[in-house]
């Protein structure tokens, strides 16, 4: 898969392993910075809560490290290496690791979060503070007020 044709042009002949390394580095940077649709993190909210959903396939709950400070969530996950098979020579070994930094769109209450992990999807729910919850504002009809004033005089 040629992501950058300039690197593979006749002017730049690089070792065959370099394009794979470049793609891996680009994928890791995308995950780390949360770039693109494939970043695997969604943030949404309703009137009472803020939701962070992260796709972390291949991990177990013990592989996750989640922290929260100053309205920012850090999600780290890495599949632990299984016991190495001494009879096999690996040329490339699959590995799963994730790092996401997510700034929440509004203030949330401390220590009210709930995290659930099922089928490779982590969902964290935060309760909004009273100040940041959406509330309805009633609008007075100016004509009713002016009619009442006419009746009084």
Residue 73 in domain: yes
Task: Supply the range of the domain harboring residue 112.
Answer: 29-81+93-128
Q: How many domains does the chain have?
A: 1
CATH number at residue 67: 2.60.40.790
Give the whole-angstrom CA distance, residue 153 versus residue 137: 30
Residue 8 in domain: no
Residue 99 in domain: yes
- Region of poorest pLDDT, from 64-68, 87-91, 124-128, 149-153: 149-153
Residue 77 in domain: yes
Output the CA angle 117-85-77, nearest 5 degrees: 20
Closest C-alpha among 59, 43, 52, 71 to residue 115: 52
For the chain, what is the mean pLDDT? Answer: 75
What confidence tens digit (pLDDT) does each residue in 42-88 have? 999 998 999 999 998 888 899 999 999 989 999 998 887 666 667 77
Closest C-alpha among 125, 100, 122 to residue 29: 100
Give burial (CB, 10 Å; 0-12/13-18/19+) of 54: buried
């Amino acid at each position: 898969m040629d992501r950058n044709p300039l690197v593979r042009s006749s002017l730049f002949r690089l070792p065959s392993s370099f394009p794979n390394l470049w793609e891996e580095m680009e994928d890791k940077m995308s995950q780390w910075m949360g770039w693109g649709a494939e970043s695997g993190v969604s943030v949404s909210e309703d009137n009472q809560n803020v939701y962070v959903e992260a796709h972390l396939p291949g991990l177990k709950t013990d592989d996750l490290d989640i922290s929260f400070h100053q309205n920012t969530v850090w999600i780290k996950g890495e599949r632990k290496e299984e016991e190495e098979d001494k009879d096999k020579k690996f040329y490339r070994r699959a590995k799963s690791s994730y790092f996401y930094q997510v700034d929440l769109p509004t203030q949330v209450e401390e220590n009210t979060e709930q995290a659930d992990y099922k089928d490779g999807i982590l969902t964290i729910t935060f309760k909004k503070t009273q100040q940041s919850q959406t509330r309805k504002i009633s609008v007075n009809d100016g004509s009713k007020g002016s009619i009442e004033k006419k009746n009084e005089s």
